[in-house]
Structures are given as structure tokens and as C-alpha cells.
Chain A
Amino acid sequence: MKLHTISINNLKRRKAKMAFLTVGLMVGIATIVTLVTLTRSMSNDIERKMDEFGANILITPQSNGLSMNYGGISLGGVTFDQREIKQEDLDKVRKIKNNKNISAISPKVLGGVKINGHDVLLVGVEFPAELKMKQWWQIFGEEPKGENDILLGSDASNTLNASSGDTIEIKGEKFKVAGVLNQTGSQDDSLVFASLPKVQKILGKEGKITMAEVAALCSGCPINDMVNQIAELLPDSKVSAIQQVVAGRLKALDQFKRFSYAMAGVVVFIGSLIVFVTMMGSVNERTTEIGVFRAIGFRKSHIMRIILLEAALVSILAGLLGYAVGMGGAKLALPFMAESKNAHLVWDTTIAFGSVGLALILGILASLYPALHASKMDPTEALRAL
């Protein structure tokens, strides 16, 4: 017989009350787990999309010249006939402090050429990096493999009247149209993509690039840090972050997060109130029992330990159940809440331990006053209560 024997046996005897107490606390914990997991999963989903779909850092030459747009994104002043970035400088980007966050670097050289009598913007790219970055591209035909393989935007294909398998001539050199892009709705539709070295040679810009797109893995999103780090290494270039779209989404998510936390706070408060009222009721019901404990020599601290141990045991159970139910709820709700079907539920042991810890803290705090009240009971009064 130890003090915990009393706590455990009492919990066994008052099953209904303890079940009510457990459920009350569990609902609070489950709500928090669901909301936290949902927001984290949604956040991860957005980050993943950012990683998958396109660049989030642009490197362009410092320039006061012509401005142009690329893919709906302003490139600022680009005078592609006058100032370029040295291709070798791009290797420095790989050496920045946050280089582990770099998913892909896609250098580009741009230049206007005439094809079949039409003015066309020719873009030299490293196809593996470009295809990795633009996973939304749908290619009719094949991915370009050889140095003389080119890819046509859908509008360019129509204008030039060329499709996959055709051969076109650019500045006297023949190129095979490996594939044609499905309409993207962006400026890519009117471009002709060829391999970087080839275009550099055609445009007479060997070893130079017009711009580079960098896709950064956004976990933790140190984009601004990375921009600064790259700018330091490339002082003659303009480095800018593309954050508008993502920032909008993250802002909406942040609002949802705040709403979630407020809601979780209310639920936790109600859960704590349930614990408090139930424990207080339990203590008042056990007046005689506590009187006996005091009469036979239990100290106030012994009484508190009995009550708080009961609260702790119930809280741990509520925390574990709350985690399981909360994760179940998040799993059910995620497909409705996330933007993509591929959103993954975040399983995090921190949340598991956190939910048990939180339940324990709440249970103990809410039971502190009832335990104090019990410990201060006058044994004579307690025994007279019968």
C-alpha cells in the first residue's frame, strides 16, 4: 500500500466520473492537435508547392536599361545586349551559407532571333534544371536531349508552324523540335527554348548568361537571408525574391493559424474548467474519506499527492487519447482544408509529447485548488460531515 494505490483504486471505482473528466480534457487536447497539425500540414503543403513549382529567387544584371517581363514576373532592367552575368559567377551561388536550401539553379541566356521571318525570343536553358523547376510543363513530344533539340512554346509553335519532329533553322543552323509545350498562360508560350551553350554560341555570348532562376527549398523559408548571401557574392547582379504569391497564401494561413489558436484556447479553457469542477466535486464527495486520512496521520502534502496523482493519471490518458483523436481528426479534415490532394499529414513526436505534456500541465493546474482545498480540510469537520 502506497499513496498511488489509493489514487489508482479511487479512479477505478469512479469510472464514470473519471471517463467524463478524461473526455473533457481529451476534447481540448484533440482540438489543439487537430488544429496545429492541420496548419502545419497546410503550411508544409504550400512550402512544398513553392519548392516544386518554380523559382523564388531571380538573379539579373544590374541595369538601368530596358525593362522586360518574363513569365509575368518583372525582371527589372535587363539590357541583354549589353550587360550579362558571367556564367562562372553562378558557381558562387552554390557556396552560400544556406546552400542546402537550393533545390535548383537554372541559368538563362536571352536574345532575339529571326526564325522563318518571325522575330522570336530565343532562350538558352539547361534543360534538366529548367524541367525540374517547371514541373507544371506538359510537353507534347519528347524532352530535349541533344544539343540541337529545341522546345517550342505553344504560341511559338503556331506562329512558326512547327511541331515535334520538325526541323527549323536558326541563324543557319538546323534544330530539331523535340517537343511543344502545352499552353501555360505565361510568357513561356511565345518562347523558343534551346540548350544554353548553343544559344550562347548563336548569340555570341559564350560564358555569359542573362539571368538565373533559383528554386530554394522553403522549409524555414530563409529566402531573404539567401537573397542577401547571393547579393554579397554577386555585387554586379540584382538579386530579388519572388514572394508575393506565397506571401499572400502564408498570410491567409497565418490568419487561419491565429483563429485556430484562439479556438484551441477557448476549448482548452473549457476543458480545464471541466477538470476543475469535476475534481472539486470529487473532493467534496470525499470529505469523510479525506477526514479519515487526516485523522490517521496523513499530512496535507499526502492528501495533495493523492489528488494530484489522480489528476496526473487522468491527464496522461487524456493526452494520449487526445493526440490519437486529434491526429484522426486532422487526417479526416486535411483533404477538405488543403489546396492540393497531395498534402501530407505531419506526424511529429513533438506534438505527441506536447499533447501529453499540455494535458498534464492543464490537469495538474486545474486540480491544484481542489487538492489544496482537500488538504486544508479539518479532520474533525470532515468526520462530522456524516
Chain B
Amino acid sequence: MAIIEIKNVKKQYQTGADLVEALRGVDITIEAGEFITIMGQSGSGKSTLLSVLGGMNHPTSGDVEMAGVKLYQLGSEQLADFRAQNLGFVFQSFHLIQYLTALENVMLPLAIVKMSTAEKRDAARKALERVGLGAKTDRLPNQLSGGEQERVAIARAIVNNPHILLADEPTGNLDSKTSEEVMTLFRQLNSAGQTVVMVTHNPENGAYSDRTIHLKDGLISE
């Protein structure tokens, strides 16, 4: 069953006097439970595609349907609700909140959910245990290594059991050994049923996924 369907999505930016075509008509169908990597060189449009998939970037034209919802027919606040309930984001630079502990960072998506604090704490602790950081819940981000921070970011992305996990260059700032550990973690999450869409420029990461989509100059080139 397709959980994501992208039909003829185009995205154009105006940069000064220039019109940049980041996506020039992309069609992708992703099944529930798939692990997809989107690969391409810098400027190929892969990050734009991910932000379009994440409901954060209105395409110039085309349709994006996710879990049966036409994403860009929703208002901006409904889109925010959709992201909160269905999507998990892992950012390239982790983007952890520096003044919150690992546990609090993971609890962040639950701050707007009606649950007791104890339940939120319990869910965050379980998410941290899933990524192997159950013993470092009270550390601040600057007290964690790059790999550990990435794991906290992954735990934050999965704490609300999203339908789809979106990752933007998750190993971009990590050494090769830590990158392998993180990719293995994504693989494990996928094996447990999590749909994963990952943008990367590292071909080695493609080996962990079920399917790789290559983007070049805003078009699929596979």
C-alpha cells in the first residue's frame, strides 16, 4: 500500500533575477514500511524534495499525498498538526535544543500532545533506549558525542510513533564508524516496520535501504 505518492511535483525559486528550478516534475511512490534513500549531488534538489515531503515547502505545482491526505490542500496550522502526528524529522546538524537534556529534547514533540508528564517521560525514555542511549538521558547535547547527539535526534523523531521518518543527511557530520552505527539503527527501525525516507549524498548509505532514487538537476535519473 502506497504511503507516499508524489505526482509531477515542480518547485521553482526566485533568486534575485534568476528563476531556479529545484524540482522539474518528480513522480515517486513509496510503500508503507519501505526504506528509501534519495541520492544526488549538491544542488540536485534532494533536500527540496525532502522538505516538500515533510509538508514544509509548498511545491509550485503537482500533488503530494501522504497517508491518504493531500498535504498541500491543508492550511498551515493543519499541516503543522499533520507533521506532529505523522512525521518524524532527523536533521543533518541534529538541531538539538542546547538548553534541554537528552530526555527533554526527545520529549519535545510531545510538549504539544495531551499526555501526562509521566507518560511523556516514559515514552521519551523508551525512545532513548531504542537508540541505545538509555543511560544518558540527563546529559545536555554538549555533553554528548556527535553520534550520540544523532541518536538523540533519531529518538526525538520516533518518540511519537510517526508513520514516516524523514532524514536529511543524517551521517553528514559523523565519522565513518559512527555513520555505520547510525545507518544500522535506521535499518533496525525499518525492520520494525518504520517507513524511512533518507536524503544522502553518500553512496554507502544506499546499501542499507530497500531502494535508492537518484536525483539529478531536479529530475529522477534512475
State the A residues within 8 Å of B (CB): 1-3, 5-6, 9-10, 12-13, 288-289, 291-302, 378-380, 383, 386
Per the 8 Å Cβ criterion, residues 56-115 of B in contact with A are 56-57, 76-77, 80-85, 87, 89, 91, 93, 95, 97-100, 104, 107-112
B202 at the interface (CB under 8 A from A): no
Question: What's the minimum C-beta distance from A150 to chain B, rounded to whole angstroms?
Answer: 84
| Contact between B89 and A296, CB atoms less than 8 A apart | yes
B51 at the interface (CB under 8 A from A): yes
Query: How far is B91's CA from A379's CA once the two chains are assembled, in angstroms?
Result: 12
Query: How far is B95's CA from A2's CA once the two chains are assembled, in angstroms?
Result: 19
| Contact between B120 and A1, CB atoms less than 8 A apart | yes
- Known A-B contacts: A1-B111, A294-B56, A299-B112. Give 7 more (CB < 8 A): A1-B117, A6-B111, A292-B91, A297-B85, A298-B80, A299-B81, A380-B51
Query: If A1-B117, A10-B99 touch, does A299 touch B77 (CB 8 Å cutoff)?
Result: yes
| Contact between B98 and A5, CB atoms less than 8 A apart | no
Chain B residue with the shortest CB-CB distance to A383: B91
Query: How far is B81's CA from A356's CA once the two chains are assembled, in angstroms?
Result: 36
B54 at the interface (CB under 8 A from A): yes
Query: How far is B98's CA from A291's CA once the two chains are assembled, in angstroms?
Result: 14
User: Which residues of chain B are within 8 angstroms of A386 by Cβ–Cβ distance?
Assistant: 93, 95
User: Which residues of chain B are within 8 angstroms of A6 by Cβ–Cβ distance?
Assistant: 97, 100, 108, 111
User: Which residues of chain A are within 8 angstroms of B77 by Cβ–Cβ distance?
Assistant: 299-301
| Contact between A295 and B56, CB atoms less than 8 A apart | yes
B156 at the interface (CB under 8 A from A): yes
| Contact between A298 and B97, CB atoms less than 8 A apart | no
The 9 A-B residue pairs with the shortest CB-CB distance in the complex, in nearest-first order: A297-B84, A1-B107, A13-B99, A297-B83, A379-B56, A9-B99, A296-B109, A292-B95, A380-B56
Query: How far is B108's CA from A302's CA once the two chains are assembled, in angstroms?
Result: 12
User: Which residues of chain B are within 8 angstroms of A380 by Cβ–Cβ distance?
Assistant: 51, 56-57
Contact of A2 among B54, B80, B111 (CB under 8 A): B111
Question: What's the minimum C-beta distance from B82 to chain A, rounded to whole angstroms?
Answer: 8
Mostly, the B contact residues are helix
Point out which of A13, A291, A383 has the most chain B C-beta atoms below 10 A from its C-beta: A383
User: Which residues of chain A are within 8 angstroms of B81 by Cβ–Cβ distance?
Assistant: 297, 299
Query: How far is B77's CA from A299's CA once the two chains are assembled, in angstroms?
Result: 6
User: Which residues of chain B are within 8 angstroms of A3 by Cβ–Cβ distance?
Assistant: 111-112
Query: If A9-B100, A9-B104, A13-B99 touch, does A300 touch B112 (CB 8 Å cutoff)?
Result: no
Point out which of B81, B89, B104, B111 has the most chain A C-beta atoms below 10 A from its C-beta: B111
For the side of the interface on B, what is the size category?
Answer: 20 to 34
User: Which residues of chain A are within 8 angstroms of B111 by Cβ–Cβ distance?
Assistant: 1-3, 5-6, 298, 302
Chain A residue with the shortest CB-CB distance to B153: A292
Listed A/B pairs (30) with beta-carbon separation below 8 Å: A1-B107, A1-B111, A1-B120, A2-B111, A5-B111, A6-B100, A6-B111, A9-B99, A10-B99, A13-B98, A289-B97, A291-B95, A292-B97, A292-B108, A294-B56, A295-B56, A295-B83, A296-B83, A296-B89, A297-B80, A297-B83, A297-B84, A297-B112, A298-B112, A299-B77, A299-B81, A300-B76, A300-B77, A300-B80, A380-B57
User: Which residues of chain B are within 8 angstroms of A13 by Cβ–Cβ distance?
Assistant: 98-99
| Contact between B80 and A288, CB atoms less than 8 A apart | no
| Contact between B95 and A288, CB atoms less than 8 A apart | yes
| Contact between B110 and A1, CB atoms less than 8 A apart | yes
| Contact between B112 and A302, CB atoms less than 8 A apart | yes
Query: How far is B102's CA from A1's CA once the two chains are assembled, in angstroms?
Result: 12
Query: How far is B82's CA from A117's CA once the two chains are assembled, in angstroms?
Result: 110
| Contact between A5 and B56, CB atoms less than 8 A apart | no
Chain B residue with the shortest CB-CB distance to A301: B77
User: Which residues of chain B are within 8 angstroms of A10 by Cβ–Cβ distance?
Assistant: 99
Chain A residue with the shortest CB-CB distance to B79: A297
User: Which residues of chain A are within 8 angstroms of B112 by Cβ–Cβ distance?
Assistant: 3, 297-299, 302
User: Which residues of chain B are within 8 angstroms of A296 by Cβ–Cβ distance?
Assistant: 83-84, 89, 108-109, 156
Chain A residue with the shortest CB-CB distance to B50: A380
Question: What's the minimum C-beta distance from B22 to chain A, rounded to whole angstroms?
Answer: 11
| Contact between B80 and A294, CB atoms less than 8 A apart | yes
User: Which residues of chain B are within 8 angstroms of A1 by Cβ–Cβ distance?
Assistant: 104, 107-108, 110-111, 117, 120-121, 124
User: Which residues of chain A are within 8 angstroms of B124 by Cβ–Cβ distance?
Assistant: 1
Chain A residue with the shortest CB-CB distance to B94: A292
User: Which residues of chain B are within 8 angstroms of A383 by Cβ–Cβ distance?
Assistant: 91, 95
